[in-house]
Structure 1
Amino acid sequence: MSFKKLTALVIVFFICFIGFAIALLPASVAIQLGQSHLPKGLNLGPATGSIWQGQVNGVQYQGHYLSRVKWDIYPSALLGMKLKADVIVGNKRNTGEVSANGLVKYGLSDGALQLENVRARVALETILSQVKLPVPTEAKGLVFLELDTYELGQPHCGEMAGVISSADINVKGRNGWFSIGELEGELSCVNGSASVKVSKENLLGLQVDAGFNQRGQLTVDGFIKPDASLPKDVHDAVQFIGNQSADGRYRISF
């Protein structure tokens, strides 16, 4: 065998070796190698599986906890300098935990982030703990997100289409808990910010456009007119929002 042929075989051998080594690289080893590049304060539990199909059991970041993050990467997408993966977050059997699944795309060269067919669920209590409302509110229920498409933009939203809803929200009043029924809003991007428009008929008579401003603060503009069937607690509470118009609606703006 000639020296050139021997050299070619050695090169092919090492290419195959490296390829198999990467393909079989345990997820735990990959995380250890990339530990220095992870966000500060991110704590990861034990990892199982490979770099292509793996799972981390236990993720904690900024006071939030997820029981697991599971991924399944499409190797062929790397040829186009894109990371593409099916991702599952949390445990949908635990109603108190955030859970989600969907397709994630990330451009390795341009940093473009896209989400497709995301289905998520989060407790309303978790959402309320992150926003400041004009009237102190204690409520519970499950919020569902059906995000068909999302594309990262400036400042944080380029394109988005989907629906956010809750089948039954319960609010605590002076005389105990009561239901305000179903709420549903359409998601979109407006001037680079995430926005939700609530226009479907509901017991609260809520018709609003809500979103986040350039500083990431929640803004809401619209009206509310509680149905007569709702408890007196609701009708008393909305009086703190502002003056009632001639048609019985209260303006919401903050």
Structure 2
Amino acid sequence: MSLIKKIMIGVVIYSAFLLALFPAKVALSLAPLPANISLSGVSGSIWSGAVETLNIESRQLEQLRWELSPWGLLIGKVNLEFQIGSRATPVSAKGALSGSSAGLSVRGLRFDAPDSFLIGNAKLPFRTQIQGEVSLLVDTFTQGQPWCEALSGKLFLNQTNVNNQFGNYPLGNIELGLSCEAGKVQLATDESKNALGIVGTLQLAEANMLQVAAKIKETPEQPEDMRNSLGILGPRGADGYYPVVYQGRIPGL
């Protein structure tokens, strides 16, 4: 073997080791992160790394860890497994992401957070304040137009309490099924998944538009303020339900 070939092989091997061990701290310091994002405690490599804390404006995530497959990059695909926090932290998540020119896909995602983390500093209408916790389980998600091509999962609203200028509404626990309908993200619930007498769907369409098609009837489990306010929704139907219909932008956005 000639000297030139040996040098070339040596350069290739050296480059491979350099890339495999490239520090995550250096990579993130070179990345054009937005001004409202700050990181601390970065360790590991770009392929297997960790971040102690990540701050996004008023929100904080702890104990971020990731595994990035280098083999997918060879075919133009990003395969990433990640974990955020633990059961002991306010916010936790884990799952697997895949990205390519065709879009983003997700599998095995679990996300748990208090409502205050999701709402942040957003001002909700009617001076509304929401307390509780959210658990999101996504078995599979495939990006499409305007939002999805496929979606399967569940959303749990746990110990939810809504307080606004009309009264106090302890809503308890609500389970919603997740699906993709004509490219729209759909959430659906019925009386077997909540104690509030709510049946219907909510769809997220393009441009952050919400479409709600549901109905609600009086139940013994409803807060008194809620039962007394059902009449503002419109006339009660022959089936005993009041209509819940809305079409417009997501409140607070």
Q: TM-score, normalised by structure 2?
A: 0.84
Task: Deviation per CA, 1:194-229: give whole Å up to 9, x if none.
Answer: 111112522111112102222212221110113124
Candidates 196, 203, 206, aligned match of 2:198: 206
Contact 2:156–2:176 (Cα < 8 Å) also in 1: yes
Residue identity in the other structure for 1:183: I
Contact 2:153–2:177 (Cα < 8 Å) also in 1: yes
Aligned ranges for residues 1-254 of structure 1 at < 5 Å? 5-33=2-30, 35-36=31-32, 38-39=33-34, 41-61=36-56, 63-95=58-90, 97=91, 99-107=92-100, 110=101, 112-127=103-118, 137-172=128-163, 179-201=170-192, 202-254=194-246
CA distance in 2, matches of 1:206, 1:192: 24
Distance 1:128 1:206, change over 3 A: farther
Q: TM-score, normalised by structure 1?
A: 0.83
Distance 1:132 1:59, change over 3 A: same
Distance 1:113 1:217, change over 3 A: same
Contact 1:213–1:219 (Cα < 8 Å) also in 2: yes
CA distance in 1, matches of 2:57, 2:234: 35
User: How many corresponding residue pairs?
Assistant: 243
The alpha-carbon deviation at position 171 of structure 1 amounts to 4.4
CA distance in 2, matches of 1:214, 1:92: 34
Contact 2:25–2:43 (Cα < 8 Å) also in 1: yes
Task: Deviation per CA, 1:54-108: give whole Å up to 9, x if none.
Answer: 112222335433224321112222232211111112444233x3x211001111x
CA distance in 2, matches of 1:226, 1:60: 43
As a proportion of its length, which structure holds more strand?
Answer: 2
Contact 1:184–1:200 (Cα < 8 Å) also in 2: no
Report % sequence identity. Answer: 26
Report which stretch shifted further, 221-230 or 162-171: 162-171
Distance 1:74 1:59, change over 3 A: same
2:148 partner SS? coil
Report which stretch shifted further, 239-248 or 120-129: 120-129
| Unaligned runs of at least 5 residues, structure 2 | 247-253
Question: Which residue of structure 1 lines up, in the alignment, with residue 250 of structure 2?
Answer: none
Distance 1:221 1:136, change over 3 A: farther
2:2 partner SS? helix
CA distance in 2, matches of 1:214, 1:231: 34
Task: Deviation per CA, 1:129-155: give whole Å up to 9, x if none.
Answer: 66957x765442222111011112222
| Unaligned runs of at least 5 residues, structure 1 | none
Contact 2:146–2:184 (Cα < 8 Å) also in 1: yes
RMSD of aligned C-alpha atoms? 2.7
Distance 1:105 1:145, change over 3 A: same
